[in-house]
Amino acid sequence: MKDSEKKFTVSFTELECKSCKKLLTRKFEYGDIVFEENGACDQCEGNLLVVKIFGETIG
């Protein structure tokens, strides 16, 4: 494989606080599911909802 063909994808999860609507993006963790609650907001302690999971290709 040529160096130019070496690509890899990094997966991210975007979460939104259901109370203050703050958006947070972090690396994807196994078990993350879109539209399921996952943790608490560090600002208002509201429930965080996974709103997007996406991949970004690097290389």
Measured from the CB atom, the residue of 41 and 50 that comes closer to other proteins is 50
Residue with Cβ nearer other proteins (2 or 30): 30
Collapsed DSSP state (helix, strand, coil) of residue 21 = coil
Note whether 52 binds other proteins by CB under 8 A. Answer: yes
HSE-up of residue 43 (Cα within 13 Å, Cβ side): 10
Chosen residue from 28, 38, 46, 47 binding other proteins by CB under 8 A = 28
Q: Which long-range contacts (CB under 8 A, 24 or more apart) does 27-30 make?
A: 28/53
Residues that bind other proteins in the complex, under the rule CB under 8 A = 9, 11-12, 14, 28, 30-36, 51-57
